Structure 1
Amino acid sequence: MTLIRPLTIGSFTAPNNLLLAPMAGITDSPFRVLCLKGGAGIVCAEMVSAHALHFGSPKSGKMLQVNPKEHPVSMQIFGSDEITIAEAAKNAEAQGADIVDLNAGCPVKKINKAGAGCVLMKDEAKLGRLIEAAVKSVRIPVTLKTRIALTRKELLGARLAKLAENAGAAAVTLHARAAVDVHAGPPNIEALAEACQAVKIPVIGNGGVLDAAAARRFLQAGCAGVMIGRGAVGNPFIFKDIADELEGKPLSAHTPAWRMGVYRDLIRENVSFYGERIGVNRSRKTAGYWIKDFENAAQVRGAFVRMDALADIETLFARTLERLETQKNP
Structure 2
Amino acid sequence: MSALIHPLQIGSVACANNLVLAPMAGITDSPFRVLCLRGGAGLVCAEMVSAHALHYGNPRSGRMLQVNAKEHPVSMQIFGSDEETIAQAARNAQEAGADIVDLNAGCPVKKINKAGAGCVLMKEPDKLARLIEAAVKSVKIPVTLKTRIALNHKEFLGARLAQLAESAGAAAVTMHARAAVDVHSGAPDVDALARVCAAVKIPVIGNGGVLTAQDAVKFLQAGCAGVMIGRGAVGNPLIFGDIIAELTGQAPAAHTPKERLKTYQALIEENVSFYGERIGINRSRKTAGYWIKDFPNAAEVRGQFVRIDTLAGVRELFARVLETL
Question: If the length of structure 2 is used for normalisation, what is the TM-score?
Answer: 0.99
Q: Give the aligned residue type for 1:206.
A: N
**CA–CA separation in structure 1 for the residues paired with 2:228 and 2:271:** 24
**CA displacement at 1:301 relative to structure 2:** 0.7
- Name the counterpart of 2:241: 240
Q: Give the aligned residue type for 1:153.
A: K
Unaligned runs of 5+ in 1: 325-330
**CA displacement at 1:253 relative to structure 2:** 2.1
**CA displacement at 1:252 relative to structure 2:** 2.0
Superposition pairs of residues 1-330 of structure 1, within 5 angstroms: 2-324=3-325
Q: Give the aligned residue type for 1:319.
A: R
**CA displacement at 1:256 relative to structure 2:** 0.5
After superposing on structure 2, the runs of 4+ consecutive aligned residues of structure 1 that deviate more than 3 Å are: none
Q: Give the aligned residue type for 2:248.
A: E
**CA–CA separation in structure 2 for the residues paired with 1:20 and 1:115:** 26
What are the Cα deviations for residues 162-190 of structure 1, in whole angstroms up to 9, with x where unaligned? 01001100000001111111110000000
What are the Cα deviations for residues 277-326 of structure 1, in whole angstroms up to 9, with x where unaligned? 111110000001000011110110111112111111111111011111xx
**CA–CA separation in structure 1 for the residues paired with 2:283 and 2:130:** 35
**CA–CA separation in structure 1 for the residues paired with 2:152 and 2:68:** 38
**CA–CA separation in structure 2 for the residues paired with 1:197 and 1:237:** 31
**CA–CA separation in structure 1 for the residues paired with 2:253 and 2:276:** 33
**CA–CA separation in structure 1 for the residues paired with 2:64 and 2:111:** 19
Report if aligned partners of 2:122, 2:151 keep a CA contact under 8 Å in 1: yes
**CA–CA separation in structure 2 for the residues paired with 1:293 and 1:134:** 45
RMSD (Å), alpha carbons: 0.7
Question: If the length of structure 1 is used for normalisation, what is the TM-score?
Answer: 0.97
Report if aligned partners of 2:174, 2:205 keep a CA contact under 8 Å in 1: yes
Q: Give the aligned residue type for 1:76.
A: Q
**CA–CA separation in structure 2 for the residues paired with 1:50 and 1:267:** 29
Q: Give the aligned residue type for 1:81.
A: D
Q: Give the aligned residue type for 1:67.
A: N
Q: Give the aligned residue type for 2:322.
A: L
**CA displacement at 1:12 relative to structure 2:** 1.4
Q: Give the aligned residue type for 1:266.
A: L
**CA–CA separation in structure 2 for the residues paired with 1:140 and 1:269:** 28
What are the Cα deviations for residues 109-160 of structure 1, in whole angstroms up to 9, with x where unaligned? 1111111001101111100000000000001000000011111111111111
What are the Cα deviations for residues 175-230 of structure 1, in whole angstroms up to 9, with x where unaligned? 11111111100000000000000000000000000010000000000000000000
Report if aligned partners of 2:152, 2:180 keep a CA contact under 8 Å in 1: yes
What are the Cα deviations for residues 236-287 of structure 1, in whole angstroms up to 9, with x where unaligned? 0100100110112122221000000000111011011111111111000000
Range with bigger deviation, 21-30 or 294-303? 294-303
**CA–CA separation in structure 2 for the residues paired with 1:176 and 1:322:** 43
SS of the residue 1:293 aligns to:
coil
Unaligned runs of 5+ in 2: none
Q: Give the aligned residue type for 1:169.
A: A
Report if aligned partners of 2:238, 2:253 keep a CA contact under 8 Å in 1: no
**CA–CA separation in structure 2 for the residues paired with 1:114 and 1:179:** 16
Range with bigger deviation, 311-320 or 34-43? 311-320
**CA–CA separation in structure 2 for the residues paired with 1:45 and 1:26:** 9
How many residues of Structure 1 are paired with residues of Structure 2 in the alignment? 324
Q: Give the aligned residue type for 2:278.
A: R
Report if aligned partners of 2:207, 2:227 keep a CA contact under 8 Å in 1: yes
SS of the residue 2:148 aligns to:
strand
**CA–CA separation in structure 2 for the residues paired with 1:253 and 1:91:** 39
SS of the residue 2:223 aligns to:
coil
What are the Cα deviations for residues 39-92 of structure 1, in whole angstroms up to 9, with x where unaligned? 000000000000000000111111001111100000000000000000000111
**CA–CA separation in structure 2 for the residues paired with 1:246 and 1:152:** 33
Range with bigger deviation, 259-268 or 307-316? 307-316
SS of the residue 1:112 aligns to:
helix
